[in-house]
Amino acid sequence: MPREYTYGPFQSRRLNLSLGVDILPRKKCCTYDCVYCEIGPTGPTQLVSPEFKIRAKPSNNFRKELIDILKHVPHLSSITVGYNGEPTLNENLLDFYNVAYKVREELNWTSEKPKLTLFTNSSTLYKEEVRERVKQFDLILAKLDSATVEDFERTNRPHKDCHSLKEIIDSLIKLRREMPKENKLAIQCLICNSYKEDFVSNSNTENITRLAQAIKLIKPNLVQVYSIARIPAQYYVFAIDEVTKQKIATKFKNIINDDSVEVKYY
């Protein structure tokens, strides 16, 4: 039968072999219109407030679809929620989590069970009920790649109702404190460069320094520095090179200065 929810499995830079799960409508729905987005621009009708709510429960096909695919990949590393926008906008996020969790527990795996992973751009985490849902996941990949107001507006281009950058960082601090100890928080920093002289990319020195300072306060388990790997939403941004990634990762390590926070670049 045609797939309704899943894509892949595919080899991921950060998750190894991952099965993607999309819990949003068939069109993109996001609180940001990031210049680097690899699934394309967020159109005017697709850019929504963090208060926007989607109520879409998993159909009976979700469980069957998972089983039909997962029984063929007993070496899977991650069942990963997030693709077509911001998955935390769906109020039924935990319904999907619960189905995936039960299916995972029923199947046999060659080694470790795959993680239940969630991508989020962090824009909705100021809500306690959202953090309560999010913290159930084994691994939370939370986006934070701008730490100055100017970079946030230029790079992430948030909906006008999005909360301030300070509130977003504070919500990540809260999430980290509220999470079960066995679950992990990774901060994802997608850093890009620019062809346009009048567009200052988020690779600028002030943003990188402020990012490191914010991450030091959040105290995640892991920081992931990476860049564009596919066609971005805007033609004028492009990937930073490996040397730059390494320099940023080193700067992060020096400023964070905490051995419990692992910093990796991809």
Predicted confidence (pLDDT) per residue in 118-165, tens digit: 999 999 999 999 999 999 999 999 999 999 999 999 999 999 999 999
Is 222 among the domain residues? yes
Cβ neighbour number for residue 97 with a 10 Å cutoff: 21
Average pLDDT, the chain: 97
Alpha-helix residue ranges (DSSP H) falling in the chain: 60-70, 93-106, 128-134, 149-151, 165-178, 205-218, 242-256
Question: Is residue 74 reached through a cis peptide bond, with omega within 30 degrees of 0 on the bond before it?
Answer: no
Mean pLDDT of all residues in 100-117:
97
Which comes out higher in pLDDT, residue 118 or 1? 118
In the chain, % of residues over pLDDT 70: 100
Residue 26's pLDDT band (boundaries 50, 70, 90)?
A: confident
Of 6, 10, 3, 15, give the one whose Cα is nearest residue 83.
6
Q: Is 1 a member of any domain?
A: no
Per-residue model confidence (pLDDT) at position 1: 64
> Can you tell me the mean pLDDT for 184-211?
98
Q: What is the CATH number of the domain that holds 93?
A: 3.20.20.70
Host H or E run for residue 21: strand 16-21
Closest CA to 10 of 104, 73, 85: 73
State the pLDDT at residue 25. Answer: 84
Confidence category of residue 27, pLDDT binned at 50, 70, 90: confident
Record the pTM.
Answer: 0.96
Residue 193 has phi, psi (to 5 degrees) of -120, 175
Q: Is the per-residue pLDDT at 78 higher than 80?
A: yes
Which residue range forms the structural domain that includes residue 197? 6-265
Residue for token pair 């894509």: 7
Count structural domains, the chain.
Answer: 1
